[in-house]
Structure 1
Amino acid sequence: MLSHVHLGISDFPRAFAFYTAVMKALGFPLRFCEPDKAWAGWMPSAAPRPLFLIGRPYDGGAASAGNGQMVALLAPNRATVDETHAAALHAGGLCEGRPGPRPHYHADYYGAYFRDPDGNKICVCCHDPE
């Protein structure tokens, strides 16, 4: 359904270090990194899309997190949700919801929430039974 998601960032080295830790925990390899253009992208290892991109806003303005905006990244299992949340917090993210079941979404939903150093809200979730 999605081709790519782009999150605006204000400090490329800081954001790249943060998302390198998050994507490593999820097992998503780096597709490209262009520090001189202040952007980078990761993708699933088994497919060329979707891409998860970070970079400065195209219009040159300040990056800002959207109210009500969230990107949810799919984890292959619950342990990866736990590991990714821990990696995000260790890399400077802020907790927005500890890993755990969220039965109000559906019976097998297991997720965790955090904010990146620029305030973007990220979810990591698994939809499979334990």
Structure 2
Amino acid sequence: MFSHVFTSVGDFDRAFGFYGALMEGLGFELRFCEPEKPWAGWHGAGGARPLFVICRPYDGQPHHPGNGQMVAFTAASRERVRACHEIALKHGGTCEGPPGLRPHYHANYYGAYFRDPDGNKLCVVCHDAEGQGA
């Protein structure tokens, strides 16, 4: 469905540290990093697309996180959701909802919510029942 998801950041080096750790925790691979532009992108293991890309705003204006916007990443297990939430907080993220079931979405929705150091809202979610998934 998606070619790429692009998220703007204010401080590329800080954001790259945050997202580099988070993407590694999710098992995603760095496809490119060009600090001179600055931008970087990741994809799933062995894949080409979709890409998740960070960059300073293209128009040169200051970054502003969107109200009501969120990027949600699929995690292979509930354990991975918990680990990624911990990684995010250790790398400057702030908690927007600890790991746990959200049965109002569906019976096996296990997610964690946080913001990156620039205020962008993110989620890591596993849709499998406990003990299922990779």
Which 5+ residue runs of structure 2 have no aligned equivalent? none
Counterpart AA for 1:116? D
What is the correspondence of 1:40-55 to structure 2 with a 5 Å cutoff?
A: 40-55=40-55
Q: List gaps (5 residues or longer) in structure 1.
A: none
Match of 1:90 in 2: 90
- Cα distance in 1, alignment partners of residues 13 and 92 from structure 2: 13
Partner of 1:115 in structure 2? 115
What CA distance in whole angstroms lies between the structure 2 residues aligned with 1:98 and 1:74?
16
Q: How does 1:74-89 map to 2 (within 5 A)?
A: 74-89=74-89
The one-letter code matched in structure 1 to 2:50 is P
CA RMSD of aligned residues (A): 0.6
Match of 2:73?
A: 73
Q: Which residue of 2 aligns with 1:129?
A: 129
Equivalent AA in structure 1 for residue 48 of structure 2: P
The separation in 2 between residues aligned to 1:110 and 1:46, in whole angstroms, is 26
**Offset of 1:47 from its aligned partner?**
2.2
Q: Tell me which residue corresponds to 2:25.
A: 25
Deviations 1:46-92 (A, max 9, x none): 42111000001111111110000000001011100000000000000
* Alignment coverage as a number of residue pairs: 130
- 1 CA distance for matches of 2:48 and 2:93? 27
5 Å-filtered alignment, 1:99-114, equals 99-114=99-114
Q: Equivalent residue for 1:12?
A: 12
TM-fit CA distance, 1:96: 0.2
